[in-house]
C-alpha cells in the first residue's frame, strides 16, 4: 500500500478569484506503508515554498486522513494560498497628481501620495468611506491585508481680497 502528499499553491486576487500556480505545485514522493494503516493528514509535512516566485504562501487546508489500501494510491493534498489586495485612488479636477491603482501582495506596505493644483485647496481625504482629512498616517497601509479605496476631494480656492481703508482729515484748504 502506498500514498503521497501533494502540495497545491494558489494566488487569490483582490476580487477573490483563485488561480493555481502550477510552477509551484509539488507532487510528493511515493511513501510505502501497510494495507489498512491510517495516515493522519495533520502529520503530513508541509512544504511552504514558492519555488518559481519566492512568494510566501499560507497553508489554508488539508484533505482528510486516509487509510492505506493495497488496491491503489492514496493522496493527501495540502493547499496553500497567497492573497493579493488592491489600493484604488480617486481624485477630482483639483488633484494634480495621485498614486495610481495598484495590487499588492499580502503583507506588503502600501501608500498613497497626492498633490493639489494651484488655485485649489483640500476639502477631504476619504479612506474606505471614512473621513481621514489631516491624518496622513491613513494614507499608509502597513502589512496590507484588505482592499482599500482613497478619495481626494478639493475645491477652488476662494480669492482673498484685503481692503485697506485710510482716513485723512483734510482742512478747507485741501491739506491733510
Question: pLDDT tens-digit profile of 152-163?
Answer: 999 999 865 566
CA–CA distance, 83 with 130 (Å, rounded to integer): 24
Query: What is the structure's pLDDT at 126?
Result: 96
In this predicted structure, which of 1-5, 8-12, 120-124, 170-174 has the lowest mean pLDDT?
170-174
Does residue 57 contact residue 17 with C-beta atoms inside 8 Å?
no
Highest-pLDDT range among 26-30, 43-47, 123-127: 123-127
Which pTM does this prediction carry? 0.77
Summarize pLDDT for 27-45 with one digit per residue, the tens.
988 999 999 999 999 888 8
DSSP bridge partners of 115: 97
Number of Cβ within a 10 Å radius of residue 82: 20
The residue written with cell numbers 498614486 in the block is 99
Res. 128 pLDDT band, cuts 50 70 90:
very high
Q: Is 60 exceeded by the pLDDT of residue 67?
A: yes
Amino acid at each position: 500500500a502506498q500514498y503521497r502528499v501533494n502540495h497545491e499553491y494558489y494566488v487569490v486576487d483582490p476580487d477573490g478569484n483563485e488561480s493555481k500556480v502550477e510552477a509551484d505545485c509539488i507532487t510528493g514522493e511515493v511513501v510505502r506503508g501497510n494495507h489498512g494503516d491510517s495516515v493522519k493528514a495533520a502529520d503530513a509535512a508541509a512544504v511552504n515554498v514558492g519555488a518559481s516566485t519566492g512568494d510566501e504562501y499560507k497553508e489554508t487546508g488539508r484533505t482528510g486522513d486516509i487509510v492505506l489500501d493495497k488496491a491503489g494510491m492514496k493522496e493527501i493534498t495540502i493547499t496553500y494560498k497567497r492573497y493579493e489586495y488592491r489600493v484604488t485612488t480617486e481624485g477630482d479636477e483639483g488633484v494634480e497628481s495621485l498614486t495610481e491603482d495598484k495590487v499588492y501582495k499580502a503583507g506588503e506596505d502600501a501608500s498613497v501620495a497626492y498633490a493639489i493644483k494651484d488655485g485649489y485647496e483640500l476639502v477631504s481625504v476619504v479612506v474606505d468611506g471614512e473621513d481621514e482629512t489631516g491624518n496622513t498616517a491613513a494614507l499608509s497601509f502597513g502589512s496590507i491585508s484588505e482592499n482599500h479605496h482613497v478619495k481626494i476631494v478639493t475645491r477652488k480656492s476662494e480669492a482673498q481680497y484685503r481692503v485697506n481703508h485710510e482716513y485723512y482729515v483734510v482742512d478747507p484748504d485741501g491739506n491733510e
